């Protein structure tokens, strides 16, 4: 078991295993160190389906009440009503369970609704609108896959 979460330790641990099995994809939890190690090893990175589902469900549970009351006005500033944002979150919960390839366009459409949300200034906390922008972006399937392996994250 790897106890250090730094990318160098993970890379050193993963590299011989990946080489011995001819790995092309590294499936992990959502820890940043694994993403970095996969990039440095030239492997595609896929977050485990159960982690994506669990993380998404947790975020939806956290964000729905905040979205419903939307206290900072930044959703409305980008043209999204709080009720629409809540409906989007509920639908995301459905999409993350069914994970059908044809639903990728619907997810992309939802993401585009939040594109105008500005990133936080350095040292500031991200607005609810920006968090929603990233939430949908992180769950989009590859739009134009370079090969069949890049579709795995969405299809599995």
CA dist., res. 70 & res. 33, Å (int): 33
Q: How large a percentage of the chain has pLDDT more than 70? A: 85
Burial level of 133, CB count in 10 A (0-12/13-18/19+)?
Answer: buried
- Per domain, the residue ranges of the chain are 7-47, 49-139
Contact 155, 101 (CB under 8 A): yes
Q: What is the mean pLDDT of residues 70-83?
A: 91
Instruction: Write out pLDDT tens, residues 95-152.
Output: 888 777 777 788 888 889 999 999 999 999 889 999 998 887 767 655 444 444 444 4
Residue given tokens 């350095």 in the structure block: 122
Burial level of 97, CB count in 10 A (0-12/13-18/19+)?
Answer: exposed
> Token pair of 138, please?
């992180």
* pLDDT score at 111: 87
Contact 154, 141 (CB under 8 A): yes
Handedness of CA 99, 100, 101, 102 (dihedral sign): negative
Instruction: Write out pLDDT tens, residues 35-45.
Output: 888 888 888 87
Per DSSP, helices labelled H in the chain are 7-21, 32-41, 49-69, 74-77, 82-98, 104-112, 128-139, 152-155
| Three-class SS state of 140 | coil
Instruction: Give, in degrees to the nearest 5, the angle at Cα 137 between 18 and 78.
Output: 165
């Amino acid at each position: 078991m790897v106890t250090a979460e730094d990318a160098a330790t993970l890379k050193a641990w993963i590299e011989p295993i990946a080489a011995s099995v001819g790995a092309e994809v590294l499936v992990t939890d959502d820890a940043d160190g694994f993403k970095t190690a996969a990039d440095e090893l030239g492997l595609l990175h896929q977050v485990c389906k159960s982690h994506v589902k669990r993380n998404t469900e947790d975020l939806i549970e956290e964000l729905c009440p905040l979205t419903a009351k939307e206290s900072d006005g930044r959703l409305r500033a980008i043209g999204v009503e709080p009720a629409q944002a809540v409906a989007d979150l509920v639908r995301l919960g459905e999409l993350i369970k069914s994970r059908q390839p044809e639903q990728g366009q619907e997810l992309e459409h939802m993401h585009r609704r939040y594109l105008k949300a500005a990133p936080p200034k350095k040292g500031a906390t991200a607005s609810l609108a920006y968090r929603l922008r990233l939430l949908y972006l992180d769950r989009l399937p590859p739009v134009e896959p370079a090969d069949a392996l890049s579709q795995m994250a969405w299809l599995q």
